[in-house]
Amino acid sequence: MIFIAASLSFALIHLAPGDPFSGSITSPGLDPETARIRRSQYGLDRSLLQQYVTFIGNVVVGNLGQSIRHGRPVSEVLGIALPRTLLLMGTALILSFAAGVALGAWQAARRGSRADRVAGATSLVVASLPEFWLGLVLLLVFTYKLPLFPGGGIVGYMHDSLSPVGQLIDRVRHLALPSLTLAVLGTATIARFQRAALLDVLPHDFVRTARAKGVAERWVVYRHALRNALVPTIVLAGLSLPTLFGGAVFVESVFSWPGMGLEAAAAFAARDYPLVVGTALLGAVIVVIGGMITDVLHAAVDPRVRAR
Amino acid sequence: MTAPLTMRQLTRSTVALLVAATACDGTTRTTSEDPLTGGSLIVAVSTDIGHIVPPAIVQVDQRLVADQVFEPLAWVGDEGRLDDGFRPALADSWSWEADSTVLVFHMNPAARWHDGKPVRASDVRLTFSLYTDPAVGSPDRQPLMRIDSVTVRDSLTPVFWFGSRYPEQLFDAAARMLIVPEHAVANEPRANLPASAFARSPIGSGRFRVAKWDPKTAVELVSDTTHYRRRANLDRVIFAHIPDPTAMVTRLSAGELDAAEILNSEHFRTLSARPELSSRILPALDYTFLQFNLRDPRQPNRPHPLFGDVAMRRALTMALDRDRLVRSQFDSLARVALGPMTHAQALADTTVAGVPFDSAGAARTLDSLGWKIPVGKAIRERAGQPLRFSVIVPTISRNRMSMIVRVQEALRLQGIELVVDALEPNVFIGRLVKRDFDAAFNGTRAEVSLAGLQSYWTTNGAADPTGRNFGSYQNPVFDAHLDSALSARSIAQARAHASEAFETIVADAPAVWLYEMRSAPVVHKRLRTAHMIPGAWWAGIADWSIPSGERIPRDQIGLRVAAAAK
């Protein structure tokens, strides 16, 4: 799968119009002599097949090439951006999973009530919101109207002047709004899935047995039924990694979060071929790892999978 | 009676207390007793700075930072003249020799690089060789090719040799190049300077030096307290990368940022209304135009069926009330473009009469060309063919995307159908370069000098497949006047020839000159600004200051002693 992703992204970015040295809209075109030197430097004067063979050969030995925009190895550029995005995505995923499961279970326990209907309609609306819009609204509310959180960056501009505790608080405060933006959207989706999953489980025999044994309704729902209803939600959480990855592009832009999303968008606009392909490759790896983590978690919560 | 705290003030106070409570580390700080010095400035920039290696700079934001860290031999003066009024920088004085084709600079012997080594004439020689090396790819390479060579008379005397006299000689030699240290750059690979060790730890001679560099986040500069002229007033300047313009406005309003250049009229109105911010409007170098392709894109050896005729091009210009269009979209943030020049250029002739708005005249011209509105129809026709053409527009430019809709509507009222072809930037550039368009909503950042016009509007620029005269406009009269302006013996003569050139091209209407943007820096009022010159509002940041009584907590951190790192 990773090989296919690498080959596809290589082909598509090279087939897209323009090249890294075609200039910007206010200054189209480099000096022709400079452009020739640059194309030769990055091997773009060779045939596409030759470039592809070289690229695949390098990827096999772990060399993703040199970023044209940064003039540094792609692995170095991604090595800086990836942990930042993983921190953002990881925080958002944990928050959205915790809140989504809780909300979904709460709704399922009140199936058909007014509270359930209001929560369902709200989560549907929230799940439909564009990431950048929600990000801007949160920025307006929590940075400008109620200045509780900083509006962007990973740390404050005066971070180095803070004490170690202050630096930790500074980091958490900067993480709050971008992760909240992604988490709110994720929560809405997970809650809808969790509610449906729990409603599927509640009529089962083991739930009826638990009730017949006199177990309190809260324990029936949250201890017996919920564990069984978690399986589809865990699968969803694992599969939502690509979605989170995509959403991070917009959220990172709004909150000036210098992660993979910002890097990928800039690389694509500048036709930084090696970086675009490197980003796609890394995205594919994350998706594969997400799938593996899902399988492990699935086995952890479902004894039938372990038995197989 | 004390006014009750609002929720916002209360929250601010709580957060400030929280931050203050944790704001204590063991870093060495220096404090100044000079009431003028101290304080922090946080400037928002929309692009990732990437690097500030002067010869390899291609973005305005890079120049904004580099101008603080590096110095030329002399700065352009507040009046923006290209022949006089320069402020000494690395050079204290200069003199002409021979028949004004030899320019000798006398450098300040006290000038030092940030690593303590003295600045020498050989640094100037190396800088020139970098700027003119195609492997480096400086945008200033072509204009600098007018300098034959740079030699070293002695360690403090670089000498510039010119092939001929021209009015912008002093500007090219003194102010166009930011000087870099030979000892740090000479051995770096020229084709990859932005990735060099020097790019990661730049050593300049400016009044600020690089203290910290977080890629894609911020660049922190601190005042060089040992500078040979005088330390910068501010302790530090931070250039923060804020890619989203709406987020930038919100953060500027919230007080997280101190300064930014605004490109959107609605944002400018919002920020101008804030009592703690002050705004300025300065001439800038960007101009935007609806460029006609004068050759048929399908058969380039033939004139374009519509735009090969100057009467048609003038009629289209007359059909547009450019003043109203520009005011309705930009308010005061832009003005109607004069031609292929802007008010920020020293040699621009602001008195050249453009083609006036005259809808009746446009209708008469179109009628006389055979394009008439058939009964019961809205679009003009000739021999059964509707008067219709397409225009390519880059989607990345919000201003152009918005303006083209207004232009489309204005032309429709004249019976002209404009088909908008919105393109991704790389596709747009590809179509321009291939000359594959009827009309293009194009724009450019003008050169400070007139030399930049050669590639965009002369016959040579049209004939050269790598030239930028994408519309293939050719008029030998314009070429001759421009050549004369560029080789004139004095600025006065150059201005006279430039005026003739501008009159010629404006009358030929190879484009509808739509608007030139103005530079609109917005700055927090606690900052006292200086030397905001057209095209470079940031020129005097080293002389900006914050009165001690108006400083906020982040101004009082002091001059933290930090190692440069990237």
Whether the pLDDT of residue B210 is over 90: the answer is yes
pLDDT digits (tens, 9 = 90+) for A239-278: 777 777 777 788 999 999 999 888 888 888 888 999 999 9
Q: Do B250 and A70 touch (CB under 8 A)?
A: no
Task: Note whether B323 and B335 are within 8 A (CB).
Answer: no
pLDDT digits (tens, 9 = 90+) for B351-410: 888 899 999 999 999 999 999 999 999 999 999 999 999 999 999 888 999 999 999 999
Instruction: Supply the DSSP string of B7-63, one letter for each residue.
Output: HHHHHHHHHHHHHHHH------EE----TTS--EEEEEESS------GGG--SHHHH
Q: Do B426 and A17 touch (CB under 8 A)?
A: yes
Number of H helices, E strands in chain B: 18, 23
The structure tokens listed for B5 are: 């705290």
| CA angle A150–A155–A157, rounded 5-degree value | 85
- Residue B280, judged by CB atoms within 10 A of its CB (0-12, 13-18, 19+), counts as middle
Domains of chain A: 2-60 (no CATH), 79-131+186-307 (1.10.3720)
User: How many Cα atoms occupy the beta-carbon half-sphere of B143 within 13 Å?
Assistant: 24
To the nearest whole Å, the CA of B106 is away from the closest chain A CA by 32
Q: How far apart are CA B298 and CA B521, in angstroms?
A: 44
pLDDT band at B35 (very low <50, low <70, confident <90, very high): confident
The structure tokens listed for A119 are: 């929560």
The verdict on B376 touching A (C-beta cutoff 8 Å) is no
Smallest CA-to-CA distance from B358 within B314, B326, B312 is with B314
Smallest CA-to-CA distance from B470 within B457, B486, B453 is with B457
Alpha helices in B487-533 (DSSP H): 491-508
Count of CB atoms within 10 A of residue A81's CB? 24
Mutation target to probe the B interface, by most B beta carbons within 10 A, among A19, A26, A249 is A26
Q: Are strands B417-423 and B439-445 parallel, antiparallel or unpaired?
A: unpaired
Q: Do B247 and A255 touch (CB under 8 A)?
A: yes
Compute the mean pLDDT over every residue in chain A, rounded to the nearest whole number. Answer: 86
Type of residue numbered B36 = L
Strand partners for B214: B218
Q: How far apart are CA B324 and CA B263, in angstroms?
A: 19
Which range has the top average pLDDT, A72-81, A181-190, A215-224, B361-370? B361-370
Mutation target to probe the A interface, by most A beta carbons within 10 A, among B213, B250, B286 is B250
Percent of chain B topping pLDDT 70: 93
* pLDDT of B18: 47
* pLDDT of B562: 46
Enter the ipTM.
0.83
Cα distances from B106 to residues B110, B111, B119, B164, B177, in angstroms, run 12, 12, 12, 22, 16
The structure tokens listed for B328 are: 């309705």
The verdict on B12 touching A (C-beta cutoff 8 Å) is yes
To the nearest whole Å, the CA of B375 is away from the closest chain A CA by 42
Q: Do B241 and A256 touch (CB under 8 A)?
A: yes
Instruction: Supply the DSSP string of B64-127, one letter for each residue.
Output: HHHHHH---SEE--TT--SSS-PEESSEEEEEEETTTTEEEEEE-TT-B-TTSPBP-HHHHHHH
Of B134, B241, B397, the CB nearest to A33: B134
* pLDDT of A116: 92
Strand partners for B43: B239, B259
Q: Do A31 and B134 touch (CB under 8 A)?
A: yes
Q: Are strands B40-45 and B236-241 parallel, antiparallel or unpaired?
A: parallel
pLDDT digits (tens, 9 = 90+) for B79-97: 777 778 899 999 999 999 9
* pLDDT of B20: 46
Whether the pLDDT of residue A170 is over 90: the answer is yes
- Residue A252, judged by CB atoms within 10 A of its CB (0-12, 13-18, 19+), counts as buried
Q: How far apart are CA B211 and CA B560, in angstroms?
A: 9
Q: Do B137 and A80 touch (CB under 8 A)?
A: no
For the residues B498-513, what does the mean pLDDT come to?
Answer: 95
Q: Do B218 and A271 touch (CB under 8 A)?
A: no
Q: How far apart are CA B447 and CA B285, in angstroms?
A: 7
To the nearest whole Å, the CA of A271 is away from the closest chain B CA by 8
Count of CB atoms within 10 A of residue A60's CB? 9
- Tell me, rounded to whole angstroms, the distance of Cα B540 from its chain centroid: 16
Whether the pLDDT of residue A33 is over 60: the answer is yes
To the nearest whole Å, the CA of B424 is away from the closest chain A CA by 9
Q: Do A143 and B251 touch (CB under 8 A)?
A: yes
Task: Note whether B43 and B64 are within 8 A (CB).
Answer: yes
Whether the pLDDT of residue A179 is over 80: the answer is yes
Smallest CA-to-CA distance from B473 within B452, B504, B448, B497 is with B504
Q: Do A41 and B429 touch (CB under 8 A)?
A: no
pLDDT band at B33 (very low <50, low <70, confident <90, very high): low
For the residues B58-69, what does the mean pLDDT come to?
Answer: 94
Compute the mean pLDDT over every residue in chain B, rounded to the nearest whole number. Answer: 89
User: How many Cα atoms occupy the beta-carbon half-sphere of B117 within 13 Å?
Assistant: 14
Look at residue A182 and give its three-state secondary structure: helix
Q: Do B554 and A71 touch (CB under 8 A)?
A: no
Alpha helices in B201-343 (DSSP H): 245-253, 265-272, 310-318, 322-330
Whether the pLDDT of residue A35 is over 90: the answer is no
Task: Note whether A174 and A150 are within 8 A (CB).
Answer: yes
Per CB-CB distance under 8 Å, the chain B contacts of A150 are: 256
Q: How far apart are CA A304 and CA B18, in angstroms?
A: 51
The verdict on B143 touching A (C-beta cutoff 8 Å) is no
User: How many Cα atoms occupy the beta-carbon half-sphere of A131 within 13 Å?
Assistant: 23
pLDDT digits (tens, 9 = 90+) for B548-559: 899 998 898 877
Per CB-CB distance under 8 Å, the chain A contacts of B425 are: 18, 24-25, 269
Q: Do B50 and A69 touch (CB under 8 A)?
A: yes
- Residue A243, judged by CB atoms within 10 A of its CB (0-12, 13-18, 19+), counts as middle
Q: How far apart are CA A160 and CA B279, in angstroms?
A: 31
To the nearest whole Å, the CA of A20 is away from the closest chain B CA by 9
Q: How far apart are CA B103 and CA B447, in angstroms?
A: 22
Which range has the top average pLDDT, A111-125, A212-226, B441-455? A111-125
Q: How far apart are CA B434 and CA B427, in angstroms?
A: 11
